[in-house]
Homo-oligomer: A and B are copies of this chain.
Amino acid sequence: MKIAFLQMDCHFGKVDENLTTAGALLPGISADLVVLPELFHCGYYFSSALEAAEFAESVPDGRTTQFLIEWAAKKQCHIVAGVAERYKDSLFNSAVLVGPSGFISVYRKIHLFNEEKTWFSPGEIPFFVVDIGSARLGMMICFDWFFPESVRSLALLGADIICHPANLVLPFCQKAMITRCLENRVFAVTANRIGMDERPHGRLTFTGCSQIISPFGEILAAAGKDEESICSIDVNVEQARSKKLTRHNDLFADRRPQYYFGGDRGRD
């Protein structure tokens, strides 16, 4: 199975331009699964919920999801990409999964970062996994990585590959994802954007360095910090299906939840 990321610049508010950029890069990818950045169609740094609402689309009827569905049909592949979503009276920072036959599912970001809390509602659907036949996919978005429970949840639910659209501004995620993959024995595709959102209320620079990590913590592919790039790599998803670490250790069977503290007993 071939999995890929598409790393691109996104120009704030320029949906035509951003879809054109993605559409120019997609033909160069040969893969069964392609992951695009968070909010790739509209950019990231909104000034208000009102402004986010201008760009939020319904899923799957909106323009961006339809664009992705067309490409998934054309390339006969699956695509995960970040989309600002309008659902009923709420806005979500979402990721859609589409395939050769159309729309499959939408994940709504559970852990919102900083001012996102003023633009979006937090996701209210638990982490879930989708079996696309060739692999079981889990989705999370950007800052979700900071919480070990995100990848842990997806892995315990059976994910082989974590699809991780991102707009990273902190310097920690790329290295941390090595730990996430090791501790859960999963693949992860982090598709980050590059460039900056320069807005009247401030400026954010995104860190690029998209990457694909193996269940053994190896960096299988990595992009630079400021170039648009696509990268695909052959993986054997079976590597994510055994959690056996040593003759006597299985990373999941060895968990001992009765001795842990947390869940809804957290102190906050």
Interface residues of A in 166-204 (CB under 8 A from B): 172, 175-176, 178-180, 182-183
A49 CB within 8 Å of chain B: no
A152 CB within 8 Å of chain B: yes
A148 CB within 8 Å of chain B: yes
Q: Return the CB mask of A130-170 against B: 1 if under 8 Å, else 0.
A: 00000000000001001111101110111000000000000
**Interface pair A110/B256, CB less than 8 Å apart:** yes
Classify chain A's interface size: 35 or more
CB distance from A20 to the nearest CB of B (A): 33
**Interface pair A110/B259, CB less than 8 Å apart:** yes
Residue of B nearest to A253 (CB): B268
CB distance from A137 to the nearest CB of B (A): 15
A67 CB within 8 Å of chain B: no
**Interface pair B152/A111, CB less than 8 Å apart:** no
**Interface pair A149/B264, CB less than 8 Å apart:** no
Question: Across the interface, which residues of B come within 8 angstroms of A178, CB to CB?
Answer: 175-176
Contact of A255 among B149, B183, B259 (CB under 8 A): B149
A89 CB within 8 Å of chain B: no
CB distance from A152 to the nearest CB of B (A): 6
Stretch at the interface among A38-46, A119-127, A231-239: A119-127
A82 CB within 8 Å of chain B: no
Interface residues of A in 72-119 (CB under 8 A from B): 110-118
**Interface pair B114/A247, CB less than 8 Å apart:** yes
Interface residues of A in 213-254 (CB under 8 A from B): 217, 245-254
Binding site for B on A (CB under 8 A): 110-118, 122-127, 143, 146-150, 152-154, 156-158, 172, 175-176, 178-180, 182-183, 217, 245-268
Provide 16 A-B residue pairs closer than 8 Å at the C-beta atoms, listed in order of the A residue: A110-B259, A115-B247, A118-B248, A127-B259, A146-B251, A148-B148, A148-B183, A150-B260, A152-B260, A154-B261, A156-B266, A172-B179, A176-B178, A179-B180, A255-B262, A257-B263
Kindly list 19 other residue pairs between chains A and B, CB separation below 8 angstroms, not including A149-B262, A175-B179.
Answer: A113-B246, A113-B248, A114-B246, A115-B247, A122-B256, A126-B258, A127-B259, A147-B251, A147-B254, A147-B255, A148-B183, A149-B257, A172-B179, A172-B217, A176-B182, A179-B179, A179-B180, A252-B266, A257-B262
